[in-house]
Amino acid sequence: MTQAEIVPLPLSTGTLTPEIPTGTSARDIALADLPNVVASPTGIRKLTQDTLGLHDEQLIVPTYDRSALTPAVVHFSVGGFHRSHQLLYFDEVAERRISDAWGVVGVGLHSRHMKDALAPQDHLYTVVERSPDGERARVVGVMVDYHFAPDDPAVVLDLLTDERIRMVSLTITGSGYRLCPDSGDFDADDVDIRWDLTETASPRTVFGYIVEALDRRRRAGLPPFTVVSCDNMHRNGDAARAAIVGFARLRDEVLARWITDRVSFPSSMVDRITPHTTPEQREAVAQRYGVDDNWPVITEPFSQWVIEDDFCNGRPPLDLVGVRFVPDVARYELMKTRLLNASHCALGYLGSLAGHTSIDRVMADPLLAEYAEQLMDAEVLPLLPPPDGIDLVEYEQSLLKRFANPAIADQLYRLCRRGSTKMPHHLLPSLREALVAGRPHALLTVAVAAWFVYLRGVDADGRPVVIDDPNADLLQRLSLAGGTDPRPLLGVRSIFGDLGDDPVFVAELTDALVRIDRDGVRTTVAAALLRSGRLHP
């Protein structure tokens, strides 16, 4: 049986398209050739370990011995992004025969859906990478098990206490860390947290599981595991440390000190655009590749992972498959959050108000495409210190191409979710710095105005929009109450800090709101570009 080589993941240098190695296998196919691939004429087959050999004519499948993988990583909150990103790197480690000591076990806390999808197919799943030139599909096999923690907390605690586990990673979203916006301290005012402080053998939260497992390891004389946050937030390693140590301190000060002294919390920057998989996409994957996969993942070719080189119990050899280990991730994090994530926020709200539904359609709109480029080029990029090995101008240009990728068609409703968490971390810091430095900020201001209008719950034509936000009720009430007066919303200091105390900014934001209501979002964007000297009349 002919097996395909695994195509290396893009290295963390901003390369947009993976390099396709030359080889003897006919299945080392260039991206441009893959649209010609059709489903097996014998029909669609279920994806399982036993059927892998039947899929290798249509899919890149694992060639390593999955049964030899040793569980070393536990990941909490397995979603589409984790399966398109971190698991791909560990899969590549196994595929290149670098090591079989870094198998991954997934753990879910709030929903059975992932377990129900993955368990019947032996935790295998398909990743489809789509570019404007075509696509390729790969089966990932490095996940060795998955547990839905509420089913049996003891099993998960035993897993975390297993000395073979050397790393725990997280994608629990920024709000999942329960840190007070003002102080940065852990917020214990939650019924599940209070439960975990007393019912230590049956936790409900990720902090209850991690801290109880670390305590058991400490008492057994076992080394701790490294905790790696992969969430989009400032200094995510520090956030993980603050939350876990803060929770531990509520239990036992000695345990909290042991965690502080012994456990590593490296910050990381992760980047790969991964929309939600729709039922239609699942069916398309089945028809094209002949694979019945309960939950395939659709993503782009680009992938990037930068981690601080701080591990307390062995470092996975991820640097050999494109991950960049660095002394300090701060500049890489700023680059990504303030260019990619902030642009996602701005384009999500502006595009939705303009009647678009996906970011590729936004980028096909010449005015909004110009806005996206000038927002990054004129107002955000000049505020950023360049990370080592990265050309910020090239990175910006790569983002514009990635946003415009019609094969991904990232839906705007996804980009608009959790604005009260995303905006303070991604867009507002650039606005605040621009105001302090006296730098241009008209386009950033328009983005904030678009968010305020979006929070009213309708687009420019009166069609309803979904406000998916943990503070949706409060934000919508204040937005409707304020109208073109931004001060009610700006008064939410946990989101805006002291921005509402700046009379010049308040006046500028008021003007943007008035213009959107009077002239519409497109005319407002054009006027902002003209005022900034970035659009000729």
Domains, in order of start, for the chain: 31-326 (3.40.50.720), 330-531 (1.10.1040.10)
The dihedrals phi and psi of 130, each to the nearest 5 degrees, come to -120, 130
Within a 10 A sphere around the Cβ of 376, how many other Cβ atoms?
A: 27
| Single-letter amino acid code for the residue at 235 | R
Answer whether 225's CB lies under 8 Å from 162's CB.
no
- The beta strands (E) that lie in 175-293 are given as 226-229, 268-271, 291-292
Answer whether 303's CB lies under 8 Å from 88's CB.
yes
Answer whether 292's CB lies under 8 Å from 47's CB.
yes
The pLDDT score that the predictor gives to residue 180 is: 84
3-state percent breakdown (helix, strand, coil) of the chain, nearest 5: 50, 10, 40
This prediction has a pTM of: 0.89
Residue 420 and residue 136: Cα distance in Å, rounded? 36
Encode the chain (537 residues) as per-residue pLDDT tens digits: 333 333 334 433 333 233 322 222 222 323 333 333 344 445 899 999 999 999 988 999 999 999 999 999 999 999 999 999 999 999 999 999 999 999 999 999 999 999 999 999 999 999 999 999 999 999 999 999 999 999 999 999 999 999 999 999 999 988 889 888 778 889 888 999 999 999 999 999 999 999 999 999 999 999 999 999 999 888 999 999 999 999 999 999 999 999 999 999 999 999 999 999 999 999 999 999 999 999 999 999 999 999 999 999 999 999 999 999 999 999 999 999 999 999 999 999 999 999 999 999 999 999 999 999 999 999 999 999 999 999 999 999 999 999 999 999 999 999 999 999 899 999 999 999 999 999 999 999 999 999 999 999 988 778 888 899 999 999 999 999 999 999 999 999 999 999 999 999 999 999 999 999 999 999 999 999 998 776 654
Instruction: Give the angle 363-83-471 at the CA atoms, nearest 5°.
Output: 65
Residue 45 and residue 127: Cα distance in Å, rounded? 16
Classify the phi-psi angles of 385: left when phi > 0, otherwise alpha if psi is within -120 to 50, otherwise beta. beta
The pLDDT score that the predictor gives to residue 461 is: 79
| Cα dihedral 421, 423, 427, 430 in deg (nearest 10) | -80
